Amino acid sequence: MAKENLPVILPGSIKKGRGFEETTDKNDYIIPRVKMLQALSPEVIEGTLKSGQVINSLTLDILPEIFIPIFKFTNWIRWNPRNKNDPNFDGNYAPGALIWKSNNPEDEKVKEEGAWGDNGEVPLATKYLNFFTIFPGHPMPLILSFSKTSYKAGKKLITLGSLFGGDMFGRKYKLKVKQEETDGNKYFVFDIEPVGIIEIGTAEFTSAENTYDSFSDKPIVMHEEAPVEGE
């Protein structure tokens, strides 16, 4: 069987050994993120991986290109700057710490710190378009987030899915990486390319549907870490 046709193994379906006798609620699992490496990513600096690669943030495995979006959710996060000399640095938090997060667009913090200023000031908080996804051939679901320089790719994904119609997980896409340059600084961004329909009744569709049923109505605990420059 080709690797890309393997089903995703949901946490509740994995046969566990001794020591896992107590039942674990799905809310207690941390869902890893799809992480695109930049030049200053720790994994690149340490020499274990290369910039431009796309990995599972928890296992550090390199991910395949093809993915299936299951459902979308939006949130806002304000990260403390890593540089203490940054005018927005908050001394009450460690460099790179999470100051607050919210998934409510009516939240006062979102309205005050998540919107662009009247004169084009960059928001203090970052808006994320998140897609709960599976990568056929990779044995766990992941969160694919689009923000800042890759936000356009997230808008492209939700636009394509809406225009195609049907279940979001009824189609698969290719996650592409391309290099861009601004003021002499090179960095990588995501792009999206539609691949095709997933036929109802196939093992691939059933796996995606089961993932939707298992997680779409549950609070998502995401593996979060402050982005480095370019991420």
What distance in Å separates the CA atoms of residue 19 and residue 16, rounded to the nearest whole number?
Answer: 8
Among the listed residues 129, 152, 13, 144, the one whose alpha carbon sits nearest the alpha carbon of residue 69:
144
Q: Over range 33-57, report the average pLDDT.
A: 93
Q: What is the pLDDT of residues 183-213, one digit of tens each?
A: 888 899 999 999 999 999 998 999 999 999 9
CB of 161 within 8 A of CB of 103? Answer: no
What distance in Å separates the CA atoms of residue 142 and residue 144, rounded to the nearest whole number?
Answer: 6
Which of the four pLDDT bands, split at 50, 70 and 90, describes residue 115?
confident
Q: What is the pLDDT of residues 118-127, one digit of tens each?
A: 887 889 999 9
Among the listed residues 213, 222, 218, the one whose alpha carbon sits nearest the alpha carbon of residue 8:
213
Give the chain's count of helices (H) and strands (E): 4, 8
Q: What is the pLDDT of residues 143-170, one digit of tens each?
A: 999 998 899 999 999 999 999 999 999 9
pTM of the model: 0.85
Average per-residue pLDDT in the chain?
A: 87
CB of 138 within 8 A of CB of 61? Answer: yes
Q: What is the sign of the dihedral through the CA atoms of 192, 195, 198 and 204?
A: negative
pLDDT at 14 over 80: no
Which of the four pLDDT bands, split at 50, 70 and 90, describes residue 44?
very high
Question: Amino acid identity of 97?
Answer: A
Most confident option among 9-13, 206-210, 227-231 = 206-210
DSSP 11: G
pLDDT for position 184: 84
Least confident of 11-20, 77-86, 188-197: 11-20
Instruction: Report the run of H or E that residue 45 belongs to, with start and end.
Output: helix 42-45
- Judged on CB neighbours under 10 Å (0-12, 13-18, 19+), 118 is exposed
Question: And the tokens for 215?
Answer: 């997680």
Which of the four pLDDT bands, split at 50, 70 and 90, describes residue 221?
confident
